[in-house]
């Protein structure tokens, strides 16, 4: 009788465990690939039209008074032991006669500590105000509130910190917020969940994306370009889904800068506690007087540029546990003679894959997307940089720009390659522009080659394929073999790195229940099959280094 009871107890514990193993075994891995291309047909019931939140929505209204801090956000530095806290004080101004606030009148102070009371540490930082100016009569100029950035250092890994920010002398301090630092960089330690979103905007669908994302409890957020779409508006606040269609006769491409403030207020409940890392997109260019560009983007967010040896907010790197992230700029010079390429070479050469085994790169426009929208638009950047990224064994590439979802097989130079990266396009955050629906391989939808230049960098590199199944053509006549899965929908991605070799990628669709996966795969590294070359070894007692081809076989 006792024996029988023991069997029941064993069964109670064993069968759920077996079920768990079986459920995990159903998730494919990249070792099962390359996968046959899959296209999920558009769900005609899902219209996918996004409407912007109006400025009357309580989620975008200013809630603080005077110089109280708002639009509070956390971003990472290059290593676990420091973060940036950013916020804005004072009201923006928009109109023909504006008078910028003086940043010196409000201090930039953060009190922080592992305990809510008392917060034993204090840090101070810098502040600035930016303007968006137009040299044309009738257009309204803009000046921001005072933007503060404070660098917190000496932090412990994987630790919860509490903080308040503002100016205690006014007094104008925020309520208490908290954030958790990244794990120390080792092959055994990783953040739990990294959320990836792109082309987010500020629409009712964007709010659904953020609700779904928040329900997944991310430890870090990566926004792969195109933030608030302020450049779909005239300076008087009139907006359109297609700026060039509706406002073709404007003397300069206008923007409505308050959309940035609305976005910062909407996002504060999330990004005041979960670090967010930004990637420049084309909607952040925002040309203004004297040909100035990217002013709002580079002013509002803190970037670990200096800490990672970069001289620009458009390209930088940082570690999150055993992952090394490289952020690249597709809308600034990237050729081999340019500063960005030289920085990338140096950053990769100094990388120790025994400390950070995973290498993830991100920029805005994808190299391997098969939708008609933006098809092969970033070819010049691909020509300039793909060999270098392949040589150093990039594992995953994250992109946006195309308003749909697509996952590639491992690919290099348009050819299936077991050592190439997996490319993930997640430009499906929910902005007000239309969704990408047609594919370049759909009959009659292949663009004419010379209609696909890189209009922002002024180059054209996308010639007909010279080898493979699409030889002599600009597009494939079917879904390319490097495209594993594609679907037009809105959503976000979650990356969970499990160990040195396995990472779980999950794409979630907004129309599904919160925990359901629209696409899921284990991305598996094979360092023994794909050794990284070259490896730089610094000589003891000298500043020099030598490059050696090293095999780990």
Query: What residues act catalytically?
Result: 374
Query: In angstroms, rounded to a whole number, what is the distance separating the alpha carbons of residues 236 and 338?
Result: 38
Q: In degrees to the nearest 10, what's the CA dihedral of 534, 538, 543, 548?
A: -30
Angle between helices 339-349 and 379-391 (to 10 degrees): 20
Any residues with CB less than 8 A from the CB of 357 and at least 6 apart, and which? 187, 322, 500, 501, 525, 527
Q: Which of helix, strand or coil describes residue 422?
A: strand
Is residue 352 within 8 A of residue 535, CB to CB? The reply is no
Angle, helices 204-215/258-271, rounded to nearest 10 degrees: 20
Distance between CA atoms of residues 206 and 428, nearest Å: 9
Measured CA to CA, the distance from residue 409 to residue 370 in angstroms comes to 13
* Residue (of 362, 361, 382) closest to 452 by Cα position: 382
Q: What is the DSSP string of 102-149?
A: -GGGS--EEEEESSSSS--EEEE-EEE--EE---STTPPEEE--EEEE
How much of the chain is helix, strand and coil, in % rounded to 5?
Answer: 20, 25, 55
Pairing of strands 109-113, 172-173: unpaired
**Class of residue 18 by CB neighbours under 10 A (exposed 0-12, middle 13-18, buried 19+):** exposed
Which of helix, strand or coil describes residue 188? Answer: coil
**Cα(212)–Cα(201) distance, rounded to whole angstroms?**
15
- Coil vs helix vs strand at 71: strand
Segments of 469-543 assigned E as strands: 483-487, 491-497, 502-509, 519-524, 535-538
Distance of alpha carbon 476 from alpha carbon 260, whole angstroms: 40
Q: What angle do CA 52, 300, 310 make, to 5 degrees?
A: 125
Handedness of CA 167, 172, 174, 176 (dihedral sign): positive
Up-side HSE of residue 220: CA atoms within 13 Å toward CB?
A: 27
Q: Token pair 């800068």 is at which residue?
A: 257
Q: Rounded to an integer, what distance in angstroms lies between the CA atom of residue 86 and that of residue 340?
A: 26
């Amino acid at each position: 009788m006792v024996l029988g009871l023991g069997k029941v107890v064993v069964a109670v514990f064993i069968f759920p465990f077996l079920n768990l193993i079986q459920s995990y075994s159903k998730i494919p891995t990249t070792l099962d690939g390359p996968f046959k291309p899959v296209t999920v047909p558009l769900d005609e019931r899902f219209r996918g039209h996004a409407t912007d939140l109006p400025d009357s929505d309580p989620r975008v209204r200013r809630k603080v008074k005077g110089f109280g801090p708002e639009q509070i956000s956390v971003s990472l530095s290059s290593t676990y032991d420091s973060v940036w806290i950013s916020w804005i004080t004072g009201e923006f101004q928009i109109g023909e006669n504006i008078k910028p606030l003086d940043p010196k009148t409000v201090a930039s102070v953060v009190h922080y500590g592992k305990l809510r009371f008392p917060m034993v540490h204090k840090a101070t930082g810098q502040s600035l105000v930016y303007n968006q100016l137009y040299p044309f009569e009738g257009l309204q100029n803009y000046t921001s509130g005072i933007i503060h950035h404070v660098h917190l250092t000496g932090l412990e890994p994987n630790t919860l910190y509490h903080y308040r920010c503002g100016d205690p002398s006014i007094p104008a301090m925020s309520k208490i917020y908290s954030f958790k630092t990244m794990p120390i960089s080792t092959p055994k330690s990783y953040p739990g969940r990294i959320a990836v979103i792109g082309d987010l905007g500020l629409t009712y669908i964007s709010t659904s994306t953020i609700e779904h994302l928040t329900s997944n409890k991310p430890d870090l957020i990566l926004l792969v370009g195109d933030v608030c779409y302020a450049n779909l508006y005239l300076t008087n606040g009139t907006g359109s889904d297609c700026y060039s269609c509706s406002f073709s006769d404007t003397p300069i491409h206008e923007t409505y800068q308050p959309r940035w403030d609305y976005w910062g207020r909407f996002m504060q409940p999330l990004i005041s506690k979960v670090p967010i890392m930004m990637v420049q997109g084309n909607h952040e260019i925002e040309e203004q007087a004297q040909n100035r560009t990217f002013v709002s983007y580079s002013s509002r967010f803190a970037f670990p540029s200096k800490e990672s040896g970069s001289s620009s907010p458009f390209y930088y790197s940082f570690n999150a546990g055993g992952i090394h992230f490289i952020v690249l700029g597709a809308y600034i010079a990237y050729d081999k003679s340019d500063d960005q390429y030289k920085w990338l070479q140096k950053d990769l050469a100094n990388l120790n894959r025994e400390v950070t085994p995973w290498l993830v790169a991100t920029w805005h426009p994808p190299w391997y997307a098969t939708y008609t929208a933006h098809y092969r638009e970033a070819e010049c950047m691909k020509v300039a940089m793909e060999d270098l990224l392949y040589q150093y064994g990039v594992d995953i590439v994250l992109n946006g720009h195309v308003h749909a979802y697509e996952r590639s097989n491992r690919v290099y130079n348009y050819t299936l390659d077991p050592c190439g990266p997996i490319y993930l396009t997640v430009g499906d955050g929910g902005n007000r522009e239309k969704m990408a629906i047609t594919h370049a391989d759909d009959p009659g939808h292949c663009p004419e080659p010379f209609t696909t230049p890189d209009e922002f960098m002024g180059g054209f590199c996308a010639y007909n394929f010279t080898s493979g199944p699409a030889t002599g053509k600009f597009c494939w006549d079917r879904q390319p073999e490097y495209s594993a899965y594609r679907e037009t929908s809105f959503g976000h991605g979650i990356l969970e790195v499990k160990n040195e070799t396995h990472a779980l990628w999950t794409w979630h669709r907004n129309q599904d229940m919160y925990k359901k996966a629209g696409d899921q795969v284990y991305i598996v590294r094979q360092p023994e099959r794909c050794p990284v070359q070259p490896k730089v070894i610094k000589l003891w007692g000298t500043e020099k280094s030598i490059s050696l081809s090293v095999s780990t076989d």
